[in-house]
Chains A and B, each alone.
Chain A
Amino acid sequence: MTSHPPLDGTGTGGAAAVTVRGLRKSYGGRVVVDDLDLDVPAGGVVGLIGANGAGKTTTVECLQGLRRPDAGEIRVLGLDPRRDAQRLRRLVGSQLQSSALPDRLRVGEAVRLFAEPGARSADELLERFGLAGKRRSPFAGMSGGEQQRLFLVLALLNRPRLVILDELTQGLDPAARREVWASVAQLRDEGTTVLLVTHELAEAEALCDHVVAMRDGRVLDAGSPAELVARHAARATTTFSGPASAVDDLGGLPGVRRATAERGLLRVEGDRASIAHVGAWLVARAPELGGVPADLAVDVPDLEAALLRLLDSPAPDRAADDRPALIGAP
């Protein structure tokens, strides 16, 4: 049997907003979340990433008390999500995947419905999220971006200490997505703990201080986006037109692992630092090459590349590593 660290969240480098130990959830015979341990410290934006079916949404639904775990323990802000659902109501703001409001409910009515005594000023929030002029608009008459911003308003209305956002920008056009990202960045700047569930890796990279990569209901790895990229997709590639004779020269540069030439195109692979060395080499050789090559291209790996590598890797051995995903731990 797998042993789990204590539920008090010690080891996170700070107080935990969310602590999960040994969470297990299955639907029928299909295990969706499998013995998951997770710590999310207070403050900042933490992303749960992974392919569809990784168990992200089920995990947060258990955190929100919407699903009863088969096994395991959960503490959200020190409380049990199912037993203390009423007390958590004002402490956690949620935006759910595939949820809606009644079609004919107007924005102003929605705000009144969800506001608890002592809630923030609805006018201020609606103004901040660009919905001040939409008070009388029915939910069904709003664009996708406006609906998502309304969900953000409702999630923030009762001054929550934790905000859970599940596939926040799903189905939005690029402009609307940017608008919503800016709103989440604002939350981060205010110090609200945000748990962001997404399979949009550009979103996770843009917004999250830390990410937890999941597959098959388990945590594959966790850390800052940069750490995940460094661990799983560190290789950068620089390509440009040049003489094949330059291969030896380029291959000897610091950080370069391999340099090849094919049909007049030089390809240099190495770590991220190698890009600067290749750049310096190009500047120094510019007179010989007739200037910096116009087809110079640099492919720097991102979180998507890192996740793809992670997803291709063998399943982690639980016995060998039974630590929780310690987000923000040194």
Chain B
Amino acid sequence: MATTAPATGTRAPRTRVPSVTRRLISTELRLLLREPMTLTFVFVFPVVTMLIIGGAFGTEPDEAFPVNPSHWYVAAYLATVIGSTGLVMVPVHLAAYRERGVLRRFAAAGFPRWSFALSQLVVGAVTTLLGITTLLLVAEPVYGVPTVEDLPRTLAGIAAGMLLFLALGTLLGSLLPSARAAQAVGLMLFVPSFLLGGGGPPPAAMTDVLSSIAEWTPLSLVTDSIRDPWLGLGDGTSDLLTVCAMAVVALALSARRTSL
């Protein structure tokens, strides 16, 4: 017969929560490998487009490209991986879970809501790093990977960009009502960002208006904060600081949404 005495305090949440989060992360990482859309968007799309665009402008610097155009695009496509993870993979995944009641299922089992958001940040970061590694492994024998001129600033650019876009993805996934809506909005944000933000034509080939818009898209800022210190085109400090500020705001908003 069940009894109903109040529970004792021996099961302190402090010892349980990390365990739940670890279990969620390992489960989500396994599921990631079974997700064709993720594999396509994060691992295949950036690699294929980098191979095409990277070879379209030759290997000699000119007016549009201050360095080898192939290297210019190899560095830029790191931001494409970051953008596709944050704007497509994370929001679609999160919205689908919410729409189908998976998050309710987790919440009813007592998983803290933030633990799922945290697992998404970790899984998104791992996915991004795997995508970047894949991109560089493919680029190396084809175009060569350019020497990194300023490694700390380049890594800081990658880290800040990942934080910004994963937080944006979490925020979108928590706001949009369905996976379809998340996919539509995510693609609508990603494609122009990708074309204007480093994956498409160089700024010199754009009109003044387009170039001005491109300069201020979050993905452009991430691209510049990675590419400039990497290729020695500048230290990228102002871009990096802007990305960091945006990341703080996006993280605060997504933390607020996911802890409700």
Contact = CB atoms under 8 A, between A and B. Distances in A.
Interface string B27-71: 100110011000000000000000000000000000000000000
A78 B6 CA distance: 4
Interface residues of B, number: 32
B114 interface: no
Contacts of A300: none
B2 interface: yes
A161 B3 contact: yes
Contacts of A91: 7
Nearest to B13: A86
A256 to B, nearest CB: 43
A109 B9 CA distance: 29
Contacts of B31: 102, 104-105
Most interface-central of B9, B107, B108 (chain A CB within 10 A)? B108
Contact of B7 (A66, A88, A96, A192): A88
A141 B98 CA distance: 20
Contact of B2 (A43, A66, A78): A43
B1 A90 contact: no
B2 A191 contact: yes
Interface in B79-131: 97, 100-102, 104-105, 107-112
Interface in A1-45: 9, 15-17, 41-43
A96 B2 contact: no
A323 interface: no
Chain A interface mostly = loop
B204 interface: no
Contact of A104 (B1, B4, B35): B35
Contacts of B6: 77-79
A116 B17 CA distance: 11
A170 to B, nearest CB: 13
Interface string A77-112: 111000011111111101010111110110001001
Interface of A: 9, 15-17, 41-43, 64-66, 77-79, 84-92, 94, 96, 98-102, 104-105, 109, 112-114, 116-117, 154, 161-162, 191-193
Interface of B: 1-7, 9, 11, 13, 16-17, 19, 23-24, 27, 30-31, 34-35, 97, 100-102, 104-105, 107-112
